[in-house]
């Protein structure tokens, strides 16, 4: 297999994929998000020398010190750099806090060189990125209108992250599921009870301080303070798996599984009826979780009764306390086949119980979209965050919205809500 040309006009996605693949072959795992970081860093930094490209690649791809020798060897073999790692930039800044040992400050000990090997190039002799990959001087005149370079080529991963799920083929959906499975879901926190502590605290716990003082003749030698602890809020996700949402449900099922596993979220599917699927997603092999969940939803790919599904949730688990103070996420396009008034009433009930209500509508990203559908128009007044959900990037936006839930629409107060 011929090596790709790593000159200035090389495809950025090809270079990044090749570097990540070489590192993985030598035991240095490179997750997809780090490959995306590498693309963004190179595009923003615009390296002009191999030295600069080395540091941009190192800070974006490597997070463990023991991987540095392997990274140096792979980078040197791929980009034709010298066997010694480039000098640490901190040494040129005169950084007094650079306390790493000399070998670590340079990246890692240099591998042994052959007796007849030429000395590594100095900093002034460092080849430029234009020179890397040139096997020999062909004598051709440089073109006046140079290509914008690797920094101007969009990464295939970046394009996939922005692509609408409905336009993706089976292979792209499989890759997106792998990307979504690596996304971290963090539940917001809420204040819990005061806890006593002998360390720093916000206020003095008078009761415990006086009780402890009785052991020392009434003299409060040690003051007991207290601090407010925080616990994660409950997260509830209700996903529409009706016929109009099939193109998006195949990815959001993976989101539900990740939320149930990572944030102990409660997951439900609905079309014409509500189906709790949390146990199906988290118990047993992870690969079969989505299949088990869909087996519990016989009405999938059918009609949509959003109002009836939310009413069933509030009359059962929601009324028992699951929705109280929780972050509730509804994933649906809002196409309600039943009376939209029922959906409006149930969303008002949910709004009063939950800490925050987030509605994800994949159709929102369409040009000229307006929430004119009966169900969407009835639910929107009772929603705190209304976001799009058509791509992997918007899924990350959903996870950020869950983590940053504040329990109220922007600029509006919400009195009388439970904590």
DSSP β-ladder status, 266-270 and 235-240: parallel
DSSP state letter for 118: P
3-state secondary structure 177-237: HHHHHHCCCCCCEEEEEEEEECCCCCEECHHHHHHHHHHHCCCCCCCCEEEEEEEECCEEE
| Tokens standing for residue 256 | 């539900």
d(CA 254, CA 179): 10
DSSP β-bridge partners for residue 418: none
d(CA 87, CA 39): 23
CATH code 1.10.150 region(s) in the chain: 8-79
Q: How far is CA 415 from CA 202, 224, 297, 345, in A?
A: 27, 35, 37, 19
Give the pLDDT confidence score for residue 97 in this predicted structure: 52
Q: Does domain 8-79 have CATH number 1.10.10?
A: no
Task: Yes or no: say if 68 and 62 are a contact pair by the CB < 8 Å rule.
Answer: yes
Give the pLDDT confidence score for residue 114 in this predicted structure: 44
Give the pLDDT confidence score for residue 49 in this predicted structure: 82
Q: Class of 233-404 per CATH?
A: alpha beta
The answer, as to whether pTM is greater than 0.85, is no
CATH code 3.40.50.410 region(s) in the chain: 233-404
Give the pLDDT confidence score for residue 343 in this predicted structure: 94
d(CA 256, CA 118): 57
Give the pLDDT confidence score for residue 65 in this predicted structure: 86
Give the pLDDT confidence score for residue 182 in this predicted structure: 86
- The residues, any chain, with a CB within 8 Å of residue 149's CB and separated by 6 or more, are 8, 9, 46, 129
Per-residue pLDDT of the chain (419 residues; tens, 9 = 90+): 444 444 444 567 778 888 888 898 888 888 877 888 888 888 888 887 888 888 888 988 998 888 899 989 988 888 875 545 556 555 544 445 544 444 444 444 444 444 454 554 444 444 444 433 344 444 444 444 443 444 333 457 778 888 999 999 999 999 898 888 888 888 888 887 777 766 666 678 788 888 888 888 888 888 888 877 788 999 999 999 998 899 999 899 999 999 999 889 999 999 999 999 999 999 888 888 999 999 999 988 888 899 999 999 999 998 888 999 999 999 999 988 889 999 999 999 999 999 999 999 999 988 888 887 788 999 999 999 999 999 999 999 999 999 987 654 433 444 444 44
């Amino acid at each position: 297999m011929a090596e790709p040309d790593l000159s200035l006009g090389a495809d950025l996605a090809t270079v990044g994929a090749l570097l990540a693949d070489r590192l993985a072959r030598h035991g240095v795992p490179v997750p997809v998000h780090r490959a995306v970081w590498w693309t963004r860093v190179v595009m923003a930094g615009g390296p002009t020398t191999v030295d600069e490209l080395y540091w941009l690649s190192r800070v974006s791809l490597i997070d463990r010190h023991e991987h540095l020798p392997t990274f140096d060897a792979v980078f040197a073999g791929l980009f034709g750099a010298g066997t010694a790692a480039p000098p640490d930039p901190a040494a040129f800044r005169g950084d007094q806090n650079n306390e790493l040992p000399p070998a670590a400050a340079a990246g890692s000990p240099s591998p042994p060189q052959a007796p007849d090997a030429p000395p590594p190039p100095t900093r002034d002799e460092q080849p430029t990125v234009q020179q890397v990959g040139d096997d020999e001087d062909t004598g051709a005149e440089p073109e006046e209108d140079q290509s914008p370079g690797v920094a101007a080529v969009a990464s295939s991963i970046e394009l996939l992250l922005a692509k609408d799920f409905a336009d993706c083929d089976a292979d792209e959906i499989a890759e997106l599921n792998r990307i979504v499975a690596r996304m971290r879901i963090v539940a917001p926190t809420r204040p819990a009870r005061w806890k006593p502590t002998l360390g720093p605290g916000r206020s003095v716990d008078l009761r415990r301080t006086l009780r402890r003082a009785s052991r020392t003749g009434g003299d409060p030698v040690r003051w007991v303070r207290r601090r407010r602890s925080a616990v994660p809020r409950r997260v509830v996700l209700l996903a529409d798996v009706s016929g109009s949402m099939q193109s998006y449900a195949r990815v959001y099922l993976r989101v539900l599984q990740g939320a149930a596993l990572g944030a102990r979220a409660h997951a439900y599917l609905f079309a014409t009826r509500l189906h709790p699927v949390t146990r199906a997603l988290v118990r047993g092999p992870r690969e079969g979780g989505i299949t088990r969940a869909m087996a519990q939803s016989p009405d999938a790919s059918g009609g949509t009764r959003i109002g009836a599904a939310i009413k069933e949730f509030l009359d059962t688990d929601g009324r028992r306390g699951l929705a109280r103070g929780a972050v509730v996420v509804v994933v649906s396009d809002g196409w309600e086949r039943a009376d939209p008034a029922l959906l409006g009433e149930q969303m008002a009930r949910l709004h009063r119980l939950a800490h925050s209500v987030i509605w994800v509508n994949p159709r929102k990203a369409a040009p000229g979209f307006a929430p004119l559908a009966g169900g969407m128009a009835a639910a929107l007044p009772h929603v705190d965050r209304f976001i799009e959900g058509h791509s992997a990037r918007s899924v990350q936006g959903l996870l950020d919205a869950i983590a940053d839930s504040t329990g109220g629409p922007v600029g509006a107060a919400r009195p009388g809500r439970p904590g």
